[in-house]
Amino acid sequence: MKKIVIGDIVSRAWDLAVKHWPLFVLLSIFNSILSNFLVDVDTDSLMEAASLGDNAALMEAYATAISFNPVKGIIAALLIVYLGYVLLNLYVNAYKNGRPYESLSEAFKVDFNQLAIFFCVELCYGIIVGIGTCLCILPGIWIGVRLWYAPLLAATQGASFTEAFKRSWEITRGTFWDLFLMGLTMVGIALLGVCACFVGVFFAEVVTEFMFIVSFFVLNACDEPTGDYVEVE
């Protein structure tokens, strides 16, 4: 098992992002649009309450301005899960083969059994990390790092539900601090993206996603892609 060298991970992720950013930025924007359909927010009411400078009124506005439409919310959630599955496979293909897909029709095909496993892994990962964070922040962070790669394993490596968590636990053994620092670096890159206006946010997301993918293959000691990922056009 290899160790994480953050500078190397960032450099390689940057090269990949520069080469493949148009597709991934477009899909990230679409994913962001879908997220807005999960809940309905009355922004006018919130802005009006915020302008009053009354915290009690603002909290009351939050309670009434945010609503959930079951049909729209469920459809949006399912599409987000599907797109998350597709995106992880596209990122892995871009890293390993030098291109995200062979054809567009193939890019969006999914194994629905594996998609269901991915959904369950994502859901359980969120619940486990959430419980750990509620008990005390540090256990949530530790568990989150140790199980970080479980959804990736389910989406791209054909892992079963239990295998995804087990393999992530094994992959991250002895690397907590390396991955924790890498996570902080990803947060820093995301903040820089916010400072770089609208498109910068999504480009930063592409860089951090490639950092996630590259680190996974480095830790698996199988980090040599078959495509020429360093050749930036």
The pLDDT score that the predictor gives to residue 233 is 36
| Residue 230 located in a structural domain | no
Are the CB atoms for 211 and 9 separated by under 8 Å? Answer: yes
pLDDT of residue 229: 41
Q: DSSP 3-state assignment of 66?
A: strand
In a domain, 72, yes or no: no
What are the two backbone dihedrals, phi and then psi, of residue 223, each rounded to the nearest 5 degrees?
-100, 15
**Percentage of the chain lying above the pLDDT 70 cut:** 80
In a domain, 73, yes or no: no
Q: What share of the chain has pLDDT > 90, as a percent?
A: 59
- Lowest mean pLDDT of 4-8, 74-78, 215-219, 226-230, name the range: 226-230
Which among 42, 89, 31, 90 has a CA at the least distance from the CA of 64?
A: 42
Instruction: With respect to residue 107, please indicate whether it lies within any of the assigned structural domains.
Output: yes
The reported pLDDT for the residue numbered 166 is 97
Looking at residue 103, the DSSP 8-state letter turns out to be: -
- Return the H-helix or E-strand segment holding 162: helix 161-171
Q: Is residue 111 part of a domain?
A: yes
Q: What is the 3-state secondary structure (H, E, C) of 123-160?
A: HHHHHHHHHHHHHCHHHHHHHHHHCCCHHHHHHHCCCC
Q: What is the pLDDT of residues 170-203, one digit of tens each?
A: 999 999 999 999 999 999 999 998 887 766 899 9
CA distance 210 to 92: 8
Domain presence at residue 153: yes
Residue 63 in any domain: the answer is: no
Total domains, the chain: 1
pTM of the model: 0.84
Tell me if 229 is assigned to some domain. no
3-state secondary structure of 37: coil
Domain range enclosing 168: 6-38+83-219
Tens digits of residue pLDDT in 35-93: 877 766 656 665 665 666 666 666 666 566 666 677 888 888 899 999 999 999 999 99
